[in-house]
Chains A and B, each alone.
Chain A
Amino acid sequence: MIEFRGVHKTYDNGTKALKDVNINIDKGEFVFIVGASGAGKSTFLKLIMREEVPNAGEVIVNGYKLSKLKRREIPYLRRTMGIVFQDFRLIPTMTVFDNVAFAMRVTGASKREVRKRVPYILGLVGLQNKARNFPQELSGGEQQRVSLARALVNNPSLIIADEPTGNIDPEMSYEIMELLTEINRRGTTILVVTHEHDLVQAFSRRVIVIDDGTVVSDVAGTAEPPAASAPSAGNAVVADVLDTIQDVPTEKESDTVDAVLADIIGRNGGDEQ
Protein backbone atom coordinates (compact mmCIF):
# COMPACT_ATOMS: atom_id res chain seq x y z
CA MET A 1 0.00 0.00 0.00
CA ILE A 2 2.57 2.56 1.14
CA GLU A 3 6.23 1.77 1.02
CA PHE A 4 9.21 4.03 1.77
CA ARG A 5 12.59 2.58 0.86
CA GLY A 6 15.62 4.52 2.02
CA VAL A 7 13.91 7.85 1.42
CA HIS A 8 15.89 11.06 1.83
CA LYS A 9 14.44 14.50 1.37
CA THR A 10 16.40 17.72 1.58
CA TYR A 11 14.74 21.00 0.60
CA ASP A 12 16.40 23.62 -1.54
CA ASN A 13 17.05 25.75 1.52
CA GLY A 14 19.15 22.96 3.00
CA THR A 15 16.59 21.64 5.50
CA LYS A 16 17.01 17.90 5.85
CA ALA A 17 13.39 16.85 6.32
CA LEU A 18 13.71 13.08 6.05
CA LYS A 19 16.77 10.88 6.44
CA ASP A 20 16.76 7.28 5.32
CA VAL A 21 13.13 6.55 6.09
CA ASN A 22 11.96 2.95 5.64
CA ILE A 23 8.29 2.30 6.29
CA ASN A 24 5.86 -0.32 5.10
CA ILE A 25 2.13 0.17 5.63
CA ASP A 26 -0.13 -2.63 4.49
CA LYS A 27 -3.61 -2.43 3.06
CA GLY A 28 -6.24 -2.10 5.76
CA GLU A 29 -3.90 -0.81 8.46
CA PHE A 30 -4.68 2.08 10.79
CA VAL A 31 -1.53 4.04 11.53
CA PHE A 32 -0.80 7.09 13.64
CA ILE A 33 2.14 9.23 12.56
CA VAL A 34 3.37 11.15 15.59
CA GLY A 35 6.10 13.73 15.93
CA ALA A 36 6.90 17.24 17.09
CA SER A 37 6.30 20.03 14.64
CA GLY A 38 9.16 20.19 12.15
CA ALA A 39 9.97 16.52 12.65
CA GLY A 40 9.17 15.64 9.04
CA LYS A 41 5.52 14.52 9.24
CA SER A 42 4.34 16.96 6.60
CA THR A 43 7.15 16.00 4.26
CA PHE A 44 6.18 12.39 4.76
CA LEU A 45 2.62 13.19 3.63
CA LYS A 46 3.79 15.39 0.76
CA LEU A 47 5.89 12.55 -0.58
CA ILE A 48 2.90 10.19 -0.44
CA MET A 49 0.77 12.69 -2.35
CA ARG A 50 3.59 13.34 -4.81
CA GLU A 51 3.60 16.99 -3.87
CA GLU A 52 7.34 16.58 -3.32
CA VAL A 53 9.81 14.08 -4.72
CA PRO A 54 12.56 12.43 -2.64
CA ASN A 55 16.23 13.15 -3.32
CA ALA A 56 16.99 9.48 -2.85
CA GLY A 57 15.03 6.31 -2.28
CA GLU A 58 11.71 5.11 -3.57
CA VAL A 59 8.12 5.79 -2.54
CA ILE A 60 5.41 3.39 -3.67
CA VAL A 61 1.75 4.28 -3.06
CA ASN A 62 -1.28 2.25 -4.11
CA GLY A 63 0.81 0.48 -6.70
CA TYR A 64 2.26 3.68 -8.18
CA LYS A 65 6.05 3.91 -8.17
CA LEU A 66 6.16 7.65 -7.59
CA SER A 67 9.59 8.21 -9.11
CA LYS A 68 8.30 6.76 -12.39
CA LEU A 69 5.03 8.69 -12.27
CA LYS A 70 4.51 11.16 -15.13
CA ARG A 71 3.17 14.58 -14.23
CA ARG A 72 -0.11 14.02 -15.97
CA GLU A 73 -0.61 10.82 -13.99
CA ILE A 74 -0.43 12.62 -10.65
CA PRO A 75 -4.17 13.46 -10.57
CA TYR A 76 -5.01 9.78 -10.99
CA LEU A 77 -2.73 8.83 -8.09
CA ARG A 78 -4.49 11.38 -5.92
CA ARG A 79 -7.89 9.95 -6.79
CA THR A 80 -6.88 6.76 -5.02
CA MET A 81 -6.59 8.61 -1.72
CA GLY A 82 -8.83 10.85 0.35
CA ILE A 83 -7.29 13.69 2.31
CA VAL A 84 -8.60 15.32 5.47
CA PHE A 85 -6.95 18.56 6.53
CA GLN A 86 -6.60 20.12 9.95
CA ASP A 87 -8.30 23.31 8.73
CA PHE A 88 -11.02 21.35 6.87
CA ARG A 89 -10.34 23.14 3.54
CA LEU A 90 -14.01 23.53 2.69
CA ILE A 91 -15.03 26.00 0.03
CA PRO A 92 -17.04 28.69 1.86
CA THR A 93 -19.15 29.64 -1.15
CA MET A 94 -20.39 26.10 -1.69
CA THR A 95 -22.99 24.19 0.27
CA VAL A 96 -22.08 21.04 2.16
CA PHE A 97 -23.53 19.01 -0.69
CA ASP A 98 -21.45 20.82 -3.31
CA ASN A 99 -18.30 20.62 -1.24
CA VAL A 100 -18.60 16.85 -1.28
CA ALA A 101 -19.94 16.63 -4.84
CA PHE A 102 -17.02 18.73 -6.02
CA ALA A 103 -14.56 15.88 -5.38
CA MET A 104 -16.71 13.57 -7.50
CA ARG A 105 -17.13 16.04 -10.34
CA VAL A 106 -13.37 16.35 -10.56
CA THR A 107 -13.24 12.71 -11.53
CA GLY A 108 -15.82 13.24 -14.25
CA ALA A 109 -18.72 11.65 -12.41
CA SER A 110 -22.14 12.19 -13.96
CA LYS A 111 -24.88 14.25 -12.35
CA ARG A 112 -26.79 11.09 -11.63
CA GLU A 113 -23.90 9.44 -9.85
CA VAL A 114 -23.33 12.60 -7.81
CA ARG A 115 -26.97 12.83 -6.79
CA LYS A 116 -26.94 9.24 -5.70
CA ARG A 117 -23.60 9.02 -3.96
CA VAL A 118 -23.31 12.33 -2.08
CA PRO A 119 -26.41 11.95 0.12
CA TYR A 120 -25.29 8.43 0.88
CA ILE A 121 -21.87 9.59 2.04
CA LEU A 122 -23.36 12.51 4.00
CA GLY A 123 -25.54 9.93 5.67
CA LEU A 124 -22.48 7.94 6.66
CA VAL A 125 -21.02 10.90 8.52
CA GLY A 126 -24.39 11.87 9.97
CA LEU A 127 -24.83 15.12 8.03
CA GLN A 128 -27.65 14.29 5.66
CA ASN A 129 -29.68 17.12 7.18
CA LYS A 130 -26.97 19.71 6.64
CA ALA A 131 -26.62 19.21 2.89
CA ARG A 132 -27.95 22.66 2.08
CA ASN A 133 -26.00 24.47 4.77
CA PHE A 134 -22.82 26.40 4.15
CA PRO A 135 -19.63 25.42 6.01
CA GLN A 136 -19.61 28.50 8.22
CA GLU A 137 -23.03 27.50 9.58
CA LEU A 138 -21.59 24.28 10.97
CA SER A 139 -19.57 23.50 14.09
CA GLY A 140 -15.91 22.54 13.79
CA GLY A 141 -16.70 18.87 14.25
CA GLU A 142 -19.39 19.00 11.61
CA GLN A 143 -17.07 20.78 9.20
CA GLN A 144 -14.47 18.10 9.70
CA ARG A 145 -17.10 15.47 9.00
CA VAL A 146 -17.88 17.24 5.71
CA SER A 147 -14.20 17.15 4.93
CA LEU A 148 -14.19 13.45 5.77
CA ALA A 149 -17.21 12.89 3.53
CA ARG A 150 -15.36 14.62 0.71
CA ALA A 151 -12.35 12.37 1.28
CA LEU A 152 -14.59 9.30 1.25
CA VAL A 153 -16.83 10.10 -1.67
CA ASN A 154 -14.58 8.66 -4.37
CA ASN A 155 -14.26 5.42 -2.45
CA PRO A 156 -10.48 5.70 -1.95
CA SER A 157 -8.36 2.85 -0.67
CA LEU A 158 -6.37 5.21 1.51
CA ILE A 159 -7.40 8.07 3.78
CA ILE A 160 -4.77 10.54 4.90
CA ALA A 161 -5.81 12.72 7.81
CA ASP A 162 -3.44 15.57 8.62
CA GLU A 163 -4.10 16.62 12.22
CA PRO A 164 -7.82 16.00 11.71
CA THR A 165 -8.66 16.88 15.30
CA GLY A 166 -6.38 19.90 15.64
CA ASN A 167 -9.11 22.47 15.28
CA ILE A 168 -12.02 20.83 17.10
CA ASP A 169 -12.89 20.21 20.70
CA PRO A 170 -11.91 16.92 22.38
CA GLU A 171 -15.32 15.32 22.37
CA MET A 172 -15.72 15.97 18.64
CA SER A 173 -12.22 14.61 18.15
CA TYR A 174 -13.36 11.24 19.40
CA GLU A 175 -16.31 11.30 17.06
CA ILE A 176 -14.03 11.88 14.11
CA MET A 177 -11.62 9.20 15.24
CA GLU A 178 -14.47 6.76 15.67
CA LEU A 179 -15.67 7.48 12.18
CA LEU A 180 -12.17 6.85 10.88
CA THR A 181 -12.05 3.61 12.86
CA GLU A 182 -15.28 2.51 11.30
CA ILE A 183 -14.10 3.39 7.82
CA ASN A 184 -10.96 1.38 8.54
CA ARG A 185 -13.03 -1.57 9.67
CA ARG A 186 -14.49 -1.69 6.20
CA GLY A 187 -11.07 -2.12 4.66
CA THR A 188 -9.77 1.38 3.99
CA THR A 189 -6.21 2.12 5.00
CA ILE A 190 -6.04 5.07 7.39
CA LEU A 191 -3.07 7.32 8.07
CA VAL A 192 -3.55 9.86 10.85
CA VAL A 193 -0.95 12.50 11.57
CA THR A 194 -1.42 13.88 15.05
CA HIS A 195 0.36 15.02 18.18
CA GLU A 196 -2.52 14.40 20.53
CA HIS A 197 -1.20 11.64 22.74
CA ASP A 198 -4.55 11.06 24.43
CA LEU A 199 -6.09 10.08 21.13
CA VAL A 200 -3.19 7.88 20.16
CA GLN A 201 -3.34 6.08 23.48
CA ALA A 202 -7.12 5.73 23.49
CA PHE A 203 -7.13 4.01 20.13
CA SER A 204 -3.98 1.85 20.60
CA ARG A 205 -3.16 1.36 16.95
CA ARG A 206 0.17 1.16 15.18
CA VAL A 207 2.18 4.27 15.99
CA ILE A 208 5.10 5.53 13.95
CA VAL A 209 7.11 8.25 15.66
CA ILE A 210 9.15 10.55 13.49
CA ASP A 211 11.78 12.78 15.06
CA ASP A 212 14.27 14.97 13.27
CA GLY A 213 13.58 13.29 9.96
CA THR A 214 14.02 9.71 11.07
CA VAL A 215 11.67 7.00 12.27
CA VAL A 216 12.57 6.59 15.93
CA SER A 217 9.83 4.16 16.87
CA ASP A 218 7.32 1.95 15.09
CA VAL A 219 5.07 0.04 17.46
CA ALA A 220 2.27 -2.25 16.34
CA GLY A 221 -1.19 -1.65 17.80
CA THR A 222 -2.46 -3.70 20.64
CA ALA A 223 -6.14 -3.14 20.40
CA GLU A 224 -8.89 -3.87 18.02
CA PRO A 225 -11.39 -1.05 17.47
CA PRO A 226 -11.67 0.82 20.78
CA ALA A 227 -15.02 2.36 20.07
CA ALA A 228 -16.67 0.86 23.12
CA SER A 229 -14.13 2.41 25.50
CA ALA A 230 -14.05 5.84 23.93
CA PRO A 231 -15.40 8.63 26.13
CA SER A 232 -18.06 9.73 23.68
CA ALA A 233 -19.46 6.31 22.96
CA GLY A 234 -22.59 7.41 24.67
CA ASN A 235 -23.11 10.17 22.15
CA ALA A 236 -26.39 9.30 20.51
CA VAL A 237 -25.61 10.64 17.05
CA VAL A 238 -22.28 8.84 16.78
CA ALA A 239 -23.70 5.62 18.08
CA ASP A 240 -26.50 5.86 15.62
CA VAL A 241 -24.20 6.63 12.70
CA LEU A 242 -21.87 3.79 13.64
CA ASP A 243 -24.84 1.54 13.89
CA THR A 244 -25.99 2.63 10.50
CA ILE A 245 -22.59 2.18 8.91
CA GLN A 246 -22.40 -1.38 10.05
CA ASP A 247 -25.65 -2.11 8.34
CA VAL A 248 -24.87 -0.22 5.15
CA PRO A 249 -23.23 -2.20 2.41
CA THR A 250 -20.59 -0.36 0.38
CA GLU A 251 -21.82 1.05 -2.86
CA LYS A 252 -20.11 -1.68 -4.83
CA GLU A 253 -22.10 -4.37 -3.12
CA SER A 254 -25.36 -2.57 -3.13
CA ASP A 255 -27.66 -1.86 -5.99
CA THR A 256 -30.25 -0.38 -3.72
CA VAL A 257 -28.32 2.58 -2.34
CA ASP A 258 -31.42 4.70 -2.48
CA ALA A 259 -33.25 2.27 -0.25
CA VAL A 260 -30.39 2.27 2.23
CA LEU A 261 -30.26 6.03 2.06
CA ALA A 262 -33.94 6.32 2.78
CA ASP A 263 -33.32 4.06 5.71
CA ILE A 264 -30.53 6.26 7.07
CA ILE A 265 -32.55 9.42 6.65
CA GLY A 266 -35.47 7.74 8.27
CA ARG A 267 -33.43 6.92 11.35
CA ASN A 268 -31.22 9.97 11.70
CA GLY A 269 -33.14 12.67 9.93
CA GLY A 270 -35.74 15.17 10.89
CA ASP A 271 -34.39 16.16 14.29
CA GLU A 272 -31.79 18.73 13.28
CA GLN A 273 -33.54 21.14 10.98
Chain B
Amino acid sequence: MKFSSIGYLIKEGFRSIKQNGFMSVASILVLVSCLLLSGAAYLVFVNVEAGFDYAYDQNKAIVWAVETADDQALNVLENNLRGMNNVQDVFFRSKEDTLANYAGVVGDATFESLQGEDNPMLDGFEVTFKDLALFDETIQLIESLENVDDISYAEDVADTLVVIRQTVLTIAAWIILMLLLVSLFIISNTIKLTVYSRRLEIGIMKSVGATKMFIRFPFMVEGMVLGFAAGLLSFGVLYFVYTYLISSLSLGFITLANLSTIGMLGMPVWAELLVCFLLIGTLTGMLGSRHAIGRYLKEESGVNID
Protein backbone atom coordinates (compact mmCIF):
# COMPACT_ATOMS: atom_id res chain seq x y z
CA MET B 1 0.00 0.00 0.00
CA LYS B 2 1.39 3.34 -0.96
CA PHE B 3 1.42 6.32 1.35
CA SER B 4 -0.53 8.37 -1.18
CA SER B 5 -3.49 6.04 -0.70
CA ILE B 6 -3.94 6.69 3.01
CA GLY B 7 -5.98 9.87 2.64
CA TYR B 8 -8.27 8.15 0.18
CA LEU B 9 -8.64 5.07 2.39
CA ILE B 10 -9.51 7.14 5.46
CA LYS B 11 -12.14 8.95 3.43
CA GLU B 12 -13.50 5.57 2.34
CA GLY B 13 -13.83 4.55 5.99
CA PHE B 14 -15.95 7.61 6.77
CA ARG B 15 -17.99 7.08 3.61
CA SER B 16 -18.82 3.59 4.79
CA ILE B 17 -19.93 4.86 8.20
CA LYS B 18 -22.27 7.31 6.52
CA GLN B 19 -23.57 4.70 4.13
CA ASN B 20 -24.29 2.25 6.94
CA GLY B 21 -25.75 5.04 9.06
CA PHE B 22 -28.22 2.95 11.01
CA MET B 23 -25.82 0.12 11.76
CA SER B 24 -23.12 2.61 12.71
CA VAL B 25 -25.39 4.32 15.23
CA ALA B 26 -26.61 0.96 16.55
CA SER B 27 -23.12 -0.36 17.11
CA ILE B 28 -22.01 2.86 18.77
CA LEU B 29 -24.96 2.59 21.14
CA VAL B 30 -24.28 -1.04 22.02
CA LEU B 31 -20.63 -0.28 22.54
CA VAL B 32 -21.61 2.68 24.70
CA SER B 33 -23.75 0.45 26.91
CA CYS B 34 -20.88 -1.97 27.36
CA LEU B 35 -18.45 0.79 28.18
CA LEU B 36 -20.97 2.39 30.55
CA LEU B 37 -21.43 -0.85 32.46
CA SER B 38 -17.67 -1.40 32.58
CA GLY B 39 -17.12 2.16 33.71
CA ALA B 40 -19.83 1.87 36.33
CA ALA B 41 -18.26 -1.34 37.65
CA TYR B 42 -14.95 0.43 37.81
CA LEU B 43 -16.40 3.42 39.64
CA VAL B 44 -18.10 1.16 42.16
CA PHE B 45 -14.77 -0.56 42.69
CA VAL B 46 -12.96 2.72 43.15
CA ASN B 47 -15.59 3.87 45.64
CA VAL B 48 -15.44 0.65 47.63
CA GLU B 49 -11.67 0.89 47.59
CA ALA B 50 -11.79 4.45 48.85
CA GLY B 51 -14.31 3.40 51.49
CA PHE B 52 -11.99 0.68 52.70
CA ASP B 53 -9.11 3.06 52.92
CA TYR B 54 -11.28 5.17 55.14
CA ALA B 55 -12.24 2.17 57.24
CA TYR B 56 -8.61 1.21 57.62
CA ASP B 57 -7.81 4.69 58.80
CA GLN B 58 -10.34 4.18 61.56
CA ASN B 59 -8.68 1.03 62.66
CA LYS B 60 -7.28 1.19 66.13
CA ALA B 61 -6.85 -0.84 69.24
CA ILE B 62 -7.64 -0.09 72.88
CA VAL B 63 -4.90 -1.01 75.31
CA TRP B 64 -6.36 -1.67 78.76
CA ALA B 65 -4.15 -1.03 81.75
CA VAL B 66 -4.14 -3.40 84.71
CA GLU B 67 -6.53 -2.42 87.49
CA THR B 68 -3.66 -1.75 89.88
CA ALA B 69 -1.89 0.77 87.69
CA ASP B 70 -1.53 4.17 89.33
CA ASP B 71 -1.09 7.52 87.61
CA GLN B 72 2.65 7.10 87.33
CA ALA B 73 2.34 3.62 85.82
CA LEU B 74 -0.22 4.97 83.37
CA ASN B 75 2.18 7.75 82.36
CA VAL B 76 4.97 5.25 81.77
CA LEU B 77 2.67 3.08 79.69
CA GLU B 78 1.49 6.07 77.63
CA ASN B 79 5.08 7.10 76.95
CA ASN B 80 6.02 3.57 76.00
CA LEU B 81 3.12 3.43 73.56
CA ARG B 82 4.00 6.79 72.06
CA GLY B 83 7.57 5.63 71.67
CA MET B 84 6.60 2.79 69.34
CA ASN B 85 7.41 3.17 65.67
CA ASN B 86 4.08 2.07 64.25
CA VAL B 87 1.95 4.14 66.62
CA GLN B 88 0.31 7.17 65.12
CA ASP B 89 -1.52 8.54 68.08
CA VAL B 90 -2.37 7.69 71.69
CA PHE B 91 -5.43 8.97 73.45
CA PHE B 92 -6.19 8.34 77.15
CA ARG B 93 -9.57 6.89 77.89
CA SER B 94 -10.41 6.86 81.61
CA LYS B 95 -12.65 4.18 83.15
CA GLU B 96 -15.22 6.94 83.75
CA ASP B 97 -15.27 7.73 80.01
CA THR B 98 -15.72 4.09 79.20
CA LEU B 99 -18.52 3.66 81.72
CA ALA B 100 -20.23 6.76 80.36
CA ASN B 101 -20.69 4.84 77.07
CA TYR B 102 -23.05 2.55 78.93
CA ALA B 103 -25.33 5.29 80.23
CA GLY B 104 -28.81 4.42 79.05
CA VAL B 105 -27.74 0.92 78.12
CA VAL B 106 -28.02 -0.42 81.61
CA GLY B 107 -30.73 0.76 84.01
CA ASP B 108 -30.28 4.12 85.72
CA ALA B 109 -30.08 2.55 89.16
CA THR B 110 -27.47 0.08 88.07
CA PHE B 111 -25.55 2.82 86.32
CA GLU B 112 -25.52 4.92 89.49
CA SER B 113 -24.37 1.98 91.60
CA LEU B 114 -21.34 1.51 89.35
CA GLN B 115 -20.00 5.05 89.83
CA GLY B 116 -16.88 5.86 91.80
CA GLU B 117 -15.00 3.09 93.57
CA ASP B 118 -17.31 0.40 92.22
CA ASN B 119 -16.53 1.24 88.59
CA PRO B 120 -15.73 -2.16 86.98
CA MET B 121 -14.10 -0.61 83.93
CA LEU B 122 -10.40 -0.20 83.31
CA ASP B 123 -8.37 2.83 82.30
CA GLY B 124 -7.06 2.50 78.80
CA PHE B 125 -5.47 4.11 75.75
CA GLU B 126 -6.88 4.36 72.24
CA VAL B 127 -3.99 3.67 69.93
CA THR B 128 -4.09 4.31 66.18
CA PHE B 129 -1.55 2.68 63.93
CA LYS B 130 0.44 4.02 61.02
CA ASP B 131 0.75 0.88 58.97
CA LEU B 132 -1.88 -1.78 59.18
CA ALA B 133 0.43 -4.37 57.67
CA LEU B 134 2.48 -4.28 60.87
CA PHE B 135 -0.67 -4.69 62.98
CA ASP B 136 0.09 -8.15 64.40
CA GLU B 137 3.69 -7.34 65.33
CA THR B 138 2.69 -4.09 66.98
CA ILE B 139 0.01 -5.87 69.03
CA GLN B 140 2.61 -8.40 70.21
CA LEU B 141 4.97 -5.60 71.22
CA ILE B 142 2.21 -3.86 73.20
CA GLU B 143 1.32 -7.11 74.95
CA SER B 144 4.90 -7.35 76.19
CA LEU B 145 4.70 -3.93 77.86
CA GLU B 146 4.29 -3.64 81.62
CA ASN B 147 0.88 -2.97 83.17
CA VAL B 148 -1.04 -4.06 80.10
CA ASP B 149 -4.08 -6.09 81.02
CA ASP B 150 -5.65 -6.70 77.64
CA ILE B 151 -5.88 -5.30 74.14
CA SER B 152 -9.16 -4.92 72.23
CA TYR B 153 -8.86 -4.72 68.50
CA ALA B 154 -10.94 -5.51 65.45
CA GLU B 155 -8.69 -8.09 63.89
CA ASP B 156 -11.68 -9.91 62.46
CA VAL B 157 -13.02 -6.73 60.95
CA ALA B 158 -9.70 -6.04 59.29
CA ASP B 159 -9.60 -9.57 57.88
CA THR B 160 -13.18 -9.30 56.66
CA LEU B 161 -12.44 -5.99 55.01
CA VAL B 162 -9.57 -7.56 53.09
CA VAL B 163 -11.77 -10.43 51.92
CA ILE B 164 -14.60 -8.15 50.82
CA ARG B 165 -12.19 -5.90 49.01
CA GLN B 166 -10.71 -8.86 47.17
CA THR B 167 -14.18 -10.08 46.20
CA VAL B 168 -15.27 -6.70 44.90
CA LEU B 169 -12.06 -6.39 42.92
CA THR B 170 -12.53 -9.84 41.39
CA ILE B 171 -16.17 -9.25 40.50
CA ALA B 172 -15.45 -5.83 38.99
CA ALA B 173 -12.55 -7.24 36.99
CA TRP B 174 -14.72 -10.08 35.63
CA ILE B 175 -17.58 -7.76 34.74
CA ILE B 176 -15.19 -5.48 32.88
CA LEU B 177 -13.53 -8.39 31.09
CA MET B 178 -16.86 -9.93 30.02
CA LEU B 179 -18.18 -6.61 28.78
CA LEU B 180 -15.00 -6.03 26.82
CA LEU B 181 -15.44 -9.37 25.11
CA VAL B 182 -19.07 -8.52 24.39
CA SER B 183 -17.98 -5.18 22.92
CA LEU B 184 -15.43 -6.89 20.72
CA PHE B 185 -18.04 -9.36 19.53
CA ILE B 186 -20.58 -6.65 18.81
CA ILE B 187 -18.31 -4.33 16.88
CA SER B 188 -16.97 -7.31 14.97
CA ASN B 189 -20.53 -8.27 14.05
CA THR B 190 -21.38 -4.76 12.90
CA ILE B 191 -18.33 -4.60 10.70
CA LYS B 192 -19.18 -8.08 9.43
CA LEU B 193 -22.50 -6.71 8.26
CA THR B 194 -20.87 -3.82 6.45
CA VAL B 195 -18.28 -6.17 5.01
CA TYR B 196 -21.08 -8.44 3.85
CA SER B 197 -22.99 -5.58 2.28
CA ARG B 198 -19.82 -4.56 0.48
CA ARG B 199 -18.61 -8.01 -0.58
CA LEU B 200 -19.21 -7.11 -4.22
CA GLU B 201 -16.88 -4.17 -3.78
CA ILE B 202 -14.30 -6.34 -2.05
CA GLY B 203 -14.50 -8.90 -4.86
CA ILE B 204 -13.94 -6.16 -7.43
CA MET B 205 -11.07 -4.74 -5.42
CA LYS B 206 -9.45 -8.14 -5.42
CA SER B 207 -10.01 -8.63 -9.12
CA VAL B 208 -8.23 -5.39 -9.91
CA GLY B 209 -5.32 -6.32 -7.67
CA ALA B 210 -5.91 -4.66 -4.30
CA THR B 211 -3.57 -5.76 -1.53
CA LYS B 212 -4.90 -7.08 1.77
CA MET B 213 -4.00 -3.91 3.59
CA PHE B 214 -5.73 -1.75 1.01
CA ILE B 215 -8.98 -3.66 1.45
CA ARG B 216 -8.73 -3.88 5.21
CA PHE B 217 -7.75 -0.30 5.95
CA PRO B 218 -11.10 1.46 5.40
CA PHE B 219 -12.89 -1.13 7.53
CA MET B 220 -10.37 -0.64 10.30
CA VAL B 221 -10.82 3.11 10.06
CA GLU B 222 -14.57 2.54 10.30
CA GLY B 223 -14.20 0.35 13.39
CA MET B 224 -11.80 2.74 15.07
CA VAL B 225 -13.97 5.77 14.43
CA LEU B 226 -17.04 3.97 15.79
CA GLY B 227 -15.06 2.82 18.82
CA PHE B 228 -13.63 6.26 19.47
CA ALA B 229 -17.05 7.88 19.21
CA ALA B 230 -18.49 5.29 21.59
CA GLY B 231 -15.66 5.93 24.06
CA LEU B 232 -16.22 9.67 24.00
CA LEU B 233 -19.98 9.33 24.35
CA SER B 234 -19.68 6.81 27.19
CA PHE B 235 -17.38 9.07 29.12
CA GLY B 236 -19.73 12.02 28.71
CA VAL B 237 -22.74 10.04 29.86
CA LEU B 238 -20.93 8.44 32.79
CA TYR B 239 -19.45 11.75 33.90
CA PHE B 240 -22.77 13.57 33.93
CA VAL B 241 -24.78 10.73 35.46
CA TYR B 242 -22.21 10.25 38.21
CA THR B 243 -21.99 13.95 38.95
CA TYR B 244 -25.78 14.15 39.00
CA LEU B 245 -26.07 11.20 41.38
CA ILE B 246 -23.61 12.73 43.81
CA SER B 247 -25.09 16.18 43.81
CA SER B 248 -28.79 15.34 43.86
CA LEU B 249 -29.02 12.07 45.72
CA SER B 250 -26.17 12.46 48.23
CA LEU B 251 -25.35 8.80 47.84
CA GLY B 252 -22.07 9.21 49.63
CA PHE B 253 -20.06 8.44 46.54
CA ILE B 254 -16.83 10.26 46.20
CA THR B 255 -16.68 12.94 43.54
CA LEU B 256 -14.54 12.05 40.56
CA ALA B 257 -12.30 15.00 41.23
CA ASN B 258 -11.74 13.88 44.82
CA LEU B 259 -10.77 10.42 43.67
CA SER B 260 -7.74 11.98 42.13
CA THR B 261 -5.10 9.87 43.80
CA ILE B 262 -6.68 6.42 43.75
CA GLY B 263 -6.78 5.78 40.04
CA MET B 264 -5.12 2.52 39.06
CA LEU B 265 -2.86 4.27 36.58
CA GLY B 266 -1.91 7.02 38.96
CA MET B 267 -3.89 9.63 37.04
CA PRO B 268 -6.98 11.49 38.19
CA VAL B 269 -9.81 8.99 37.92
CA TRP B 270 -11.82 10.95 35.39
CA ALA B 271 -8.79 11.38 33.11
CA GLU B 272 -8.06 7.71 33.52
CA LEU B 273 -11.62 6.82 32.55
CA LEU B 274 -11.50 9.03 29.48
CA VAL B 275 -8.19 7.60 28.30
CA CYS B 276 -9.33 4.02 28.98
CA PHE B 277 -12.65 4.50 27.20
CA LEU B 278 -11.02 6.00 24.14
CA LEU B 279 -8.31 3.37 24.05
CA ILE B 280 -10.69 0.48 24.63
CA GLY B 281 -13.19 1.83 22.10
CA THR B 282 -10.59 2.39 19.41
CA LEU B 283 -8.80 -0.89 20.01
CA THR B 284 -11.96 -3.01 20.07
CA GLY B 285 -13.03 -1.21 16.90
CA MET B 286 -9.77 -1.98 15.18
CA LEU B 287 -9.45 -5.57 16.32
CA GLY B 288 -13.14 -6.26 15.80
CA SER B 289 -13.05 -5.10 12.20
CA ARG B 290 -9.79 -6.92 11.54
CA HIS B 291 -11.42 -10.09 12.72
CA ALA B 292 -14.63 -9.41 10.81
CA ILE B 293 -12.98 -8.99 7.44
CA GLY B 294 -10.59 -11.90 7.92
CA ARG B 295 -12.24 -14.56 5.84
CA TYR B 296 -13.12 -12.23 2.98
CA LEU B 297 -9.49 -11.52 2.50
CA LYS B 298 -8.16 -14.84 1.33
CA GLU B 299 -6.71 -13.94 -2.03
CA GLU B 300 -8.05 -17.03 -3.72
CA SER B 301 -11.64 -16.38 -2.80
CA GLY B 302 -14.09 -13.72 -3.67
CA VAL B 303 -13.38 -12.61 -7.22
CA ASN B 304 -16.26 -14.94 -7.94
CA ILE B 305 -16.32 -15.76 -11.56
CA ASP B 306 -19.18 -18.15 -12.05
Contact = CB atoms under 8 A, between A and B. Distances in A.
A46 B303 CA distance: 9
Contacts of B204: 89, 91, 102
A31 to B, nearest CB: 17
Contacts of B210: 75, 106
Contacts of A74: 299-300
B200 A106 contact: no
A200 interface: no
Nearest to A113: B4
Interface residues of A, number: 34
A9 interface: no
A49 B299 CA distance: 10
Nearest to A114: B8
A127 interface: no
Nearest to A106: B210
Given A75-B211, A85-B305, A110-B4, A93 B299 contact: no
Nearest to A51: B303
A89 B202 CA distance: 11
A75 B299 CA distance: 8
Given A91-B201, A108-B5, A71 B208 contact: no
A154 B211 contact: no
B209 A79 contact: yes
B2 interface: yes
B203 A105 contact: no
A150 B212 CA distance: 20
A113 to B, nearest CB: 9
A150 B209 CA distance: 12
B261 interface: no
A89 B211 CA distance: 19
A77 interface: yes
A177 interface: no
B300 to A, nearest CB: 6
A75 B303 CA distance: 12
A76 B1 CA distance: 11
Nearest to A103: B208
Contacts of A107: 208-209
A103 B201 CA distance: 11
A165 to B, nearest CB: 16
A197 interface: no
Contacts of A162: 305
Contacts of B206: 75, 78
Nearest to A104: B208
Nearest to B15: A93
User: Which of B1, B200, B204 has the most C-beta atoms of chain A within 10 angstroms of its own C-beta?
Assistant: B204
B299 A50 contact: yes
B16 to A, nearest CB: 10
Contacts of A89: 200, 203-204, 207
A73 to B, nearest CB: 9
Interface in B231-256: none
Contacts of A51: 300-301, 303, 305
Given A108-B2, A108-B4, A45 B305 contact: yes
A77 B299 CA distance: 11
Contacts of B48: none
Nearest to A147: B204
Contacts of B299: 50, 71, 74-75
B2 A102 contact: no
A46 B306 CA distance: 9
Contacts of A77: 209
Nearest to B201: A91
Given A91-B201, A108-B4, A154 B305 contact: no
B205 interface: yes
A72 interface: yes
User: Which of A51, A52, A75 has the most C-beta atoms of chain B within 10 angstroms of its own C-beta?
Assistant: A75
A78 B305 contact: no
A89 B207 CA distance: 10
Contacts of B214: 106
Given A71-B299, A105-B5, A106-B205, 19 more contacts: A42-B305, A49-B207, A49-B305, A51-B300, A51-B305, A74-B299, A79-B209, A82-B208, A83-B208, A83-B303, A89-B200, A89-B204, A102-B205, A105-B8, A106-B214, A108-B2, A111-B8, A150-B208, A162-B305
18 contacts: A49-B305, A50-B300, A51-B303, A71-B299, A75-B206, A77-B209, A83-B207, A89-B200, A89-B207, A91-B201, A102-B205, A105-B8, A106-B205, A106-B208, A106-B209, A108-B4, A109-B4, A154-B208
